[in-house]
Amino acid sequence: MKTFFWLLKREFWEHRGGFLWAPVITGGVFLVLNIMAIITAEVLGARHGWQVGGDNLQMMIAKAGEGDLKQIGAGLDIAMISSMGLIGIVMGIVVLFYCLGALYDDRRDRSILFWKSLPISNTSTVLSKLVSATVVAPVIAVLVSIVAGLLHLVILALVLSLHGVNAFQLIGMAHPLRAVIDLLSAIPLYALWAVPSVGWLMFCSSWARTKPFLWAVAGPAVLGLLVSWFGIMGLFELPTAWFWKNVVARALFSVLPGSNIAYHDGALEASADLGDAHNPLSLLSPMHTYGLLASPNLWIGVAVGAALLAGAIWFRRVRDDS
Amino acid sequence: MNAVITANGLTKRYKNTLALDDVSFRIESGRIVGLIGPNGAGKTTALKAILGLTDFKGELNVLGLDPRTQRDQLMEQVCFIADVAVLPRWLRVREAVDFVANVHPRFNRAKCEAFLARTKLTPDQRVKQMSKGMIVQLHLALVMAIDARLLVLDEPTLGLDILYRKQFYQSLLEDYFDENKTIIVTTHQVEEIEHILTDLMFIRDGKLVLDTDMESVGERFAEVMVSADKADAARRLKPLDERQVFGKSIFLFDGADRATLENMGEVRRPSVSDLFVATMKGTYA
């Protein structure tokens, strides 16, 4: 257990730039862009004599009905979680390249000979890399998103308070706690959903003698083209798109957070049945997203990913090209 | 004495070459064995087999374990330095010590820090900022702090200057080696390790051509400096090798009669490098 913790730490040391600094910088850029947008709006407003907010806005809030207040709250909630969108994409790309290099880079620079001189099994090594990709990286990304989101909320409230709106009243309308819970609850789901991609990428990383990226991308793509060309899916009475969506995309892009939304169609509509569909947070709430656990696509993916990881462990042992 | 390594019929074939050809040997505890051979002779393959880094045919027992299936356990008792350039470039000194201290049950942190204190390495320094000599100092400090029974060194001083090379072997002898430890070392700089070896193994084309301890090297092999008039007589005794120095011939004999040789000229114990060159004659031809 102690060894495993240190293996995770080792991965973090090596990939501090991708795991920690990439989300932090993305969050920072996100906040700076927003501040610039606010300043632009203020400058334009001042130049053209527009009245943003002011007494009117405060009056509007005072006179707003319950439904309108909900809309304002929803707007603030969106502002708060919108940083996750950007950070999530960056994290997905980081995880993709991390997995491709995880079992290849140390073979290329021969440092595998140092790691293999320590009493650590190949299984723990590969599993520590799996956990880094599916747990450590997302946890850091989510924590950074939460901080960025809260800062964003505070900035918006401060700006509006300059226009005479009561900032505390405004923040009271948002649901920061709920947003935090929603984001945190997404991590286990992401981990499960990403397993087939992580498995495939790490399998290529462990198996390829050179150019794991090329193998990982070209393999599924060429297979997809062949399937399309010969209409093989017709044998199973499935459209060709099924293969691209459920094999090619699952192998490559499931590391991108939120990619699962494209898969269980009707999920977005289902949210309309929820009581407060006005609020975008309900889309991300575990009550809603954990419906994915009932999807065979998720569990088949986990099984395939596990098999690929077993292959990665095996190749980690037998490849002696360094 | 108990054997640290016993190998029986060790064979390893790469696509079209036989890297190890039915090799058998036995290494006892408390020895320093030099495994010496020309490039591509199978040295590294033999070491990789011992370390469980490659598959092979035949029987191999290292410290009572099978390296193919029990590698994780084996590595608690075995250390190796592959060559200078294998520490990951992003690693800091502090991180390296922390990591090994926490994953290796037989690592002595205080010992490691004492070794590091004798160098110019600083805790925050990364491997990529170090010279080759400093990298090997770090690696050696890590390895010497591990109480292992077998240390495998594969060209550990390749590309180092002579100061680092001398220091390397000196540290090993003074601060590390004792009768419970065994060291196997491969190198091309034979002269530098000659005086520390207790056993000698020559490997050529995947076969062991010499496996002996250093004492018997002196008994079995002899070098005689013979003046020109006695050269023909010496040649009739079938020397391994002949070379000319200052108008005299130096002959290297394997198992020739001492008294006969002493009649012909001055008899010396051959250096390992001369023995090596004589044994490997024609390797690259």
Domain layout of chain B by residue ranges:
3-89+146-205, 217-279
Task: Please judge whether B72 and A120 are an interchain contact, meaning their C-beta atoms are less than 8 angstroms apart.
Answer: yes
For CA atoms A28, A29, A33, A36, give the dihedral sign.
positive
A119 — contact with chain B (CB < 8 Å)? Answer: yes
Q: CB–CB of B137/B170 below 8 Å?
A: no
Q: If you count them, how many residues does chain B have?
A: 285
**What pLDDT is attached to residue A66?**
65
**What pLDDT is attached to residue A58?**
61
What would you measure as the largest C-alpha separation in chain B, in angstroms? 69
Shortest distance, CA B165 to any CA of chain A (angstroms) = 20
- To test the contact with chain B by mutation, choose from A117, A125, A321 the residue with the greatest count of B C-beta atoms within 10 A, namely A117
**What pLDDT is attached to residue A47?**
79
> What topology does CATH give the domain B3-89+146-205?
Rossmann fold (3.40.50)
Spatial CA neighbour of A202 closest among A67, A88, A107: A107
Whole-angstrom distance, CA of residue B164 vs CA of residue B157: 8
> Which of A10, A109, A121 shows the shortest C-beta gap to B99?
A10
Task: Please judge whether B102 and A113 are an interchain contact, meaning their C-beta atoms are less than 8 angstroms apart.
Answer: no
Whether B39 has a pLDDT exceeding 60, the answer reads yes
Q: What ipTM describes this predicted complex?
A: 0.89
Whole-angstrom distance, CA of residue B193 vs CA of residue A179: 67
Task: Name the residue of chain B whose CA is nearest to A321's CA.
Answer: B54
Task: Please judge whether B90 and A9 are an interchain contact, meaning their C-beta atoms are less than 8 angstroms apart.
Answer: no
**Global pTM?**
0.88
Q: Residues 6 or more apart from B141 whose CB is under 8 A from it? A: B112, B115, B116, B119
> Which of B90, B91, B103 shows the shortest C-beta gap to A118?
B103
A211 — contact with chain B (CB < 8 Å)? Answer: no
- To test the contact with chain A by mutation, choose from B53, B71, B84, B94 the residue with the greatest count of A C-beta atoms within 10 A, namely B53
Show residues of chain B in contact with A109, CB under 8 Å: 85-86, 88-89
Tell me the average confidence (pLDDT) per consecutive run of 10 residues in chain A, 322 residues long: 93 96 95 91 77 57 68 80 88 96 92 92 95 96 93 85 76 83 90 95 95 93 88 77 87 88 58 53 76 86 96 90 68
**What pLDDT is attached to residue A161?**
80
Shortest distance, CA B78 to any CA of chain A (angstroms) = 8
CA A144 from centre of chain: 12
**What pLDDT is attached to residue B248?**
84
DSSP code, position B35:
E
Task: Give the residue, B133 or A170, on which the prediction is more confident.
Answer: B133
For chain B, what is the mean pLDDT? 89
Show residues of chain B in contact with A111, CB under 8 Å: 86-89
B179 — contact with chain A (CB < 8 Å)? Answer: no
Q: CB–CB of A205/A98 below 8 Å?
A: no
Whole-angstrom distance, CA of residue A79 vs CA of residue A257: 18
Predicted confidence band at B60 (pLDDT cuts at 50, 70, 90)? very high
Chain B, 49 to 88: residues with Cβ < 8 Å from chain A are: 51, 53-55, 71-76, 78-82, 85-88
CATH number (1.20.120, 3.30.60, 1.10.10, 3.30.70) of B217-279 reads 3.30.70
Whether B95 has a pLDDT exceeding 80, the answer reads yes
Give the number of other Cβ atoms within 10 Å of residue A144's Cβ: 24
Task: Please judge whether A117 and B75 are an interchain contact, meaning their C-beta atoms are less than 8 angstroms apart.
Answer: yes
Q: How large a percentage of chain B has pLDDT more than 90?
A: 47
Whole-angstrom distance, CA of residue A293 vs CA of residue B270: 76
Whole-angstrom distance, CA of residue B165 vs CA of residue B140: 12
CA A212 from centre of chain: 23
Show residues of chain A in contact with B92, CB under 8 Å: 13
Q: Residues 6 or more apart from A199 whose CB is under 8 A from it? A: A304, A305, A306, A307, A308, A309, A312
